[in-house]
């Protein structure tokens, strides 16, 4: 057999795996979303879209992503810039920054619940300092914005490191000479960052943003741990329809919505951070 077929042959198992376990279920879900009582129907989609929680879930999910991802990007860029400039202790710092990556999102939600709940660390601390007389119910259903804030904090704490790790490796690929040329030709620190680092980091930014945005659209365990169903999100609704309401068709419709906005976001980042031909490092 010619050697040029060998790479394709070696990719075959992975391709079959993806076809069987991803593409096939995806088609199943797409069919489920437009099926009612064994026949074609748009009823599941109508049920989903007209349910009072749908707009809230979509809105909160998008808002969470819109707040969390840019904040993570800015934080990760700052952290990566600092880490890249370190001469010693660089890997130690990277390990410490990466600790939350080892936690599942549910565990992260529980950690932050332990801080915010009525008998949590925050209340104990405030009581200990004499600031409050009795514990405050931070995560109550009247305080939806506090729940939102707690979710944002937990997400930042949990998932900024992955963005940073991707950006650190991307920054490592930028040769030092470009910065020196920037310095010689008149660019100050900020200008070097905007005009050299950021444009040359586009491929890494692209990967990090796609990865993080997709994960943000799928946010679930952290929200459930901190707010139950008070703060509805798309993934939570999918879960509810599937298991609480026992309606697989509507759950599938939700899954399709998540897929749709994920594809839209991916296309957006592929477009916005495209590197022209011949303009790579």
Partner 1 sequence: MAEIVIKNVAKRFGSFTALHSIDLTIADQEFMVLLGASGCGKTTLLRIIAGLETPSQGEVWIGGRRVDHLPPRERGIAMVFQNYAVFPHLTVFENIAFGLRMKKLPQAEVDARVNRTAELMHIEQLLRRYSGQLSGGQRQRVAVARALAMEPDVILMDEPLSNLDALLRLEMRAELKGVLANSKTTTIYVTHDQVEAMSLADRISVMNGGKIVQAASPVEVYRNPAARFVGSFIGNPPMNFLPANRSAAGQWSVAGLDVPGPAAGDALEFAIRPEDLTVAAEGFAATARVVEPLGAHTLVTAEVGGQMFRAVLDSDLKVSPGDELRLSPKADRIRWFNRETGLAAG
**Residue with smaller CB distance to partner 1, 200 or 216:** 200
| Part in contact with partner 1 (CB under 8 A); list of ranges 33-41, 133-141, 145-153, 194-202 | 194-202
Residue 231: which residues within 8 A CB-CB, separation 6 or more? 60, 144, 147, 148, 151, 223
DSSP-assigned states of every residue in 61-86: HHHHHHHHHHHHHHHHHHHHHHHHH-
Residue 256: how many other CB atoms lie within 10 Å: 19
**Residue with smaller CB distance to partner 1, 172 or 228:** 172
Among residue numbers 242 through 281, which ones bind partner 1 (CB under 8 A)?
275-281
Among residue numbers 132 through 191, which ones bind partner 1 (CB under 8 A)?
175, 177-178, 180-188, 191
Residue 226: how many other CB atoms lie within 10 Å: 27
d(CA 225, CA 222): 5
**Residue with smaller CB distance to partner 1, 136 or 187:** 187
CB 69 within 8 A of CB 216: yes
**Residue with smaller CB distance to partner 1, 244 or 275:** 275
Q: How many residues bind partner 1 (CB under 8 A)?
A: 25
Position among 56, 196, 259, 261 found at the interface with partner 1 (CB under 8 A)? 196
**Residue with smaller CB distance to partner 1, 208 or 234:** 208
Q: How far apart are the first and last CA of the chain?
A: 37
Residues of the shown chain interacting with partner 1 in the complex, contacts defined by CB under 8 A: 175, 177-178, 180-188, 191, 195-196, 199-200, 202, 275-281
């Amino acid at each position: 057999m010619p050697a040029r077929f060998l790479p394709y042959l070696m990719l075959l198992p992975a391709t079959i795996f993806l076809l069987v376990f991803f593409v096939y279920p995806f088609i199943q879900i797409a069919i489920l979303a437009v099926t009612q009582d064994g026949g074609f129907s748009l009823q599941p989609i109508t049920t989903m879209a007209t349910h009072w929680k749908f707009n809230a879930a979509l809105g909160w999910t998008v808002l969470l992503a819109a707040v969390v991802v840019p904040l993570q990007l800015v934080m990760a860029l700052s952290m990566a810039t600092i880490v890249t400039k370190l001469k010693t202790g660089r890997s130690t710092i990277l390990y410490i920054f990466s600790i939350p990556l080892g936690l599942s999102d549910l565990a992260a939600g529980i950690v932050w619940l332990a801080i915010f709940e009525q008998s949590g660390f925050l209340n104990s601390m405030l009581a200990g300092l004499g600031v409050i007389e009795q514990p405050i119910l931070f995560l109550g259903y009247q305080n939806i914005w506090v729940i939102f804030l707690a979710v944002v904090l937990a997400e930042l704490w949990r998932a900024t490191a992955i963005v940073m790790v991707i950006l650190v490796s991307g920054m490592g690929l930028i040769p030092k000479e470009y910065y020196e040329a920037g310095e010689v030709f008149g660019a100050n620190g900020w200008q070097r960052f905007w005009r050299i680092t950021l444009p040359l980091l586009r491929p890494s930014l692209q990967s990090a943003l796609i990865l993080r945005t997709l994960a943000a659209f799928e946010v679930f365990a952290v929200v459930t741990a901190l707010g139950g169903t008070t703060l509805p999100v798309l993934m939570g609704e999918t879960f509810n329809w599937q298991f609480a309401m026992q309606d697989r068709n509507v759950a599938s419709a939700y899954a399709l919505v998540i897929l749709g906005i994920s594809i839209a976001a991916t296309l957006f980042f592929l477009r916005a951070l495209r590197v022209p031909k011949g303009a790579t490092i």
